[in-house]
A and B are shown apart, each in its own frame.
Chain A
Amino acid sequence: MGYAINFGQVFEYLPYLAGGAWLSLQIAFLAFCGGLVLGLLGAFAKTFGGPILRRIANAYVVFFTNTPQLVQIYFLFFALPEAGILLSSYVAVLIGMTLNAGAYLTEIQRAGFSSVRQTEMEAAETLGMSRWQQVRYVIVPHIARVLFPPLSNHYILMTLGTSMAAIFGVEELTGRALNVNSETFRSIEVFTITGVMYILVTLVASAILGVAGRALFRAKMRIV
């Protein structure tokens, strides 16, 4: 059985697919922001919390980082209704990705916290800085500089991760690719173009984050 490659028909759908890519970026951004907050709470709990709080944060991280995001979302989407909680596919995906991101971002941010060295604090103290000034001028800039590259990397990975929203019928880039595929049956072309669009989207995102990181935080960027 031969298959003649023909991109022409699929190119007509480029604007439609581009719209999907925009949605992918939005989902990744929302889930990332939610995950950042969750991760901040988790990192605080793990760094400064008491034994119980620490254990809870730890269990959260260990569970979510050792199970697949897809099955986590399956659970939210199919199992929660059994408890009377109905989520739309978009919301289920968003919550699932946020919870998952929160676990990974807890670990990343905790590592960032622990990179603040005692000597730096002592130096700040000898300069006569108040507690608040130490936080404002020493700790936060330091943490931002250390955290920006790994957070950027995770954001890029999450952008790729949004493709699993398609499985739940969300019409982001992969979801729209599935639609185009069932209309045109030009499967190889559709998914190749989709792949290229993911490459372009993440390259642009990497470039923007790289410039931002160097300009804002003088971070040493080496992004995926």
Chain B
Amino acid sequence: MQHLDIVDISARYGSHQVLRGISLGVDRGQITSLVGPSGSGKSTLLRVLVGLLPPETGHVSFDGQRIDYSNKKNVKAIRDRFAIVFQQYNLFQNMTALDNVTIAPIKIRKRNRAEVIDEAEELLAKVGLKEKMRSYPDQLSGGQQQRVAIARALALKPELLLLDEVTASLDPELVSEVLDSIRQLAAEGMTMIIVSHEMGFVREVSSTVAFMVDGKMVEVGSPADVFENPKEARTREFVNKILQH
């Protein structure tokens, strides 16, 4: 049984069909990367998984349990187990880095305040931001904000972490500090789905690479297979384009 099983998911924004029958399996402790040209629906798939966009067809199972995205209780339950880091960080602008990390565990999960703060300080130290705990988002660089966002997601102790183009809005010199944080998580065995354009990084950390175009899953395989021996013509085309750059 797979940890996460995505079967035939379709979704649309208004009249715009974004996902057309996506299927994908993810094993525990594995890192799956979604790659493909922009607009292929990678980010949308993550939004569907955390219940920000209800799917039209198909279903998702987690540990063998079907998630009913039209059921509020189901969505709430799944959001307790999944965490997402957004491309634009989406940090709460009115809170310090520390408050951003602690708000959900304290106010939503009603956990012990002192314990949560201890954990949050540890997490922020882990992403290298111990000194910036009391800073507000607008006082932090993009890379620092993104690492706060990662710490915020980890504070929820997710069983599955979704990373949505977490380096796409960063200046090139800030990318590596965020990637380092993710590498560390990978080493600790966190199950992750990563949307990324950093092909070198994808190749290095992923156990599975899934290539999407136009809301369809074109090819799924190991990084070596997808990057070196792509079976599909569209994958080959994409990989060649990337390698030329």
- Tell me if chains A and B make direct contact, with any CB pair below 8 A: no
